[in-house]
Structure 1
Amino acid sequence: MRLSPLALLLPLLLACTDPTRIPAAERRAIADSLSALVVQAYDFSRPGAPERLLALYPDSGRVISGVAGRVTTTRDTLAGEIRGFWDRVGQNMRNPHFVLGSTYVDVITRDAVVMTLTYSIPHTTPLNTPHVVSGAWTMLWRNQGGRWVIVQEHLSDTPESTAPGPSVVAAPTADSTTTHRH
């Protein structure tokens, strides 16, 4: 039995193919999926914001979250932090609108993604004063059982986020998108 040159070349070509290579279209689809999850979670026009925010994280296990100079390591502690944010800040925002700034997505594997973005939440305080909460957020997403969840994150507020009074919101750039976040 004699093999054709193609039959001899095919195993060599398959051996040289990187099985971890993810095509650009698939990378874009993953990035778009994660952006959509953030948009849905931070839609402050709907009730149930704390539950939607918490739904971005796994139902159990370790979750590392660095915020405001503190680190939490459990889902229960993170749930308390999210509810505390909502009780102190979120429920007092009038007409909040989450604006997504620059977004950078690195698809490491089909099950692990790092996403970094900037955001702002212009709103009015209960005293009818314009105010903006803003910062940068880096997330490590994992696909666990077909569900994308944040397993590690770091949020960094801009100094203006804590200052009372009017703030200026930067005009969107060509690569910015609107979405919603805490």
Structure 2
Amino acid sequence: MIAPSSPSRPRALLLPALLAAALLGALCACTAPPASDPRRDAALSDTLTALIVRAYDFSRPGFVERATSLYAPTGPVISAAAGRVTTTRAAVVQSIASFWDRVGRNMQGPRFLIRERHATALGPAAAVLTIAYVIPHHTPEGRPHTLGGAWTALFVRRDDRWVIVQEHLSDLPPQPERMDSTMAMP
């Protein structure tokens, strides 16, 4: 014989089910990406791009200090460039200083130009910016040369300013050597 069901039993099961559903809904709301807002993303793109352009103003002294000021002063800073990954701010600072010592200080008349940019807000304190850039200049011998590539940076707001905590840079393919017009074609 089956005992008749108690009217309180379904209600007792209903409360935990409602709580679980509410918790699941709250978790989904917290992890859902924000809706894209083209005006907000455009303003964010302007803000983040201006930070980079100021840092890469080769006409002013102090390039290494300006460039390294883009990065978070504390915590890990992940950088992927030239087939390597580093995980500390100190390694990023060393990489920027090395670029300046080997290449930057030898560029004649360099200009940092952004060809394309895309920014997306990931929340109120996080954003990603991808740019395509070139740095046209002349070599010490007077030959025209261009460096460039694509740069994706994850910015976060810390102490009321945007800083990079993770990035990936990919270089343009090497430029082909120009053939001298006196060279014979095979």
What value does the CA root-mean-square deviation take over the aligned residues? 2.1
Which residue number corresponds to residue 40 of structure 1? 54
CA shift at 1:29, angstroms? 2.4
Output the CA distance in 1 between the equivalents of 2:55 and 2:123: 24
Q: How many residues align?
A: 148
The counterpart of 2:107, out of the listed 53, 78, 93, is: 93
What is the identity, as a one-letter code, of the residue corresponding to 1:43? D
**Percent of counterpart pairs with the same letter?**
47
Output the CA distance in 1 between the equivalents of 2:163 and 2:111: 23
Look up the SS of the partner of 2:146 in the other structure. strand
CA shift at 1:34, angstroms? 0.6
CA shift at 1:25, angstroms? 3.6
What is the identity, as a one-letter code, of the residue corresponding to 1:128? G
* 1:91-170 mapped onto 2 (5 Å cutoff): 91-160=105-174
CA shift at 1:21, angstroms? 5.3
CA shift at 1:165, angstroms? 6.4
Q: 1:155 to 1:164 in 2, by over 3 A?
A: farther
Output the CA distance in 2 between the equivalents of 1:106 and 1:83: 29
What is the identity, as a one-letter code, of the residue corresponding to 2:62? G
Look up the SS of the partner of 2:174 in the other structure. helix
CA shift at 1:160, angstroms? 2.2
Q: TM-score, normalised by structure 2?
A: 0.73
Gaps of 5+ in 2: 1-28, 180-186
CA shift at 1:30, angstroms? 2.0
- Please identify the structure whose Cα radius of gyration is greater: 2
Output the CA distance in 2 between the equivalents of 1:164 and 1:61: 42
Which residue number corresponds to residue 73 of structure 1? 87
**Contact 2:113/2:134 (8 A) holds in 1:** yes
Greater RCO structure (CA 8 Å; 6+ sep): 1
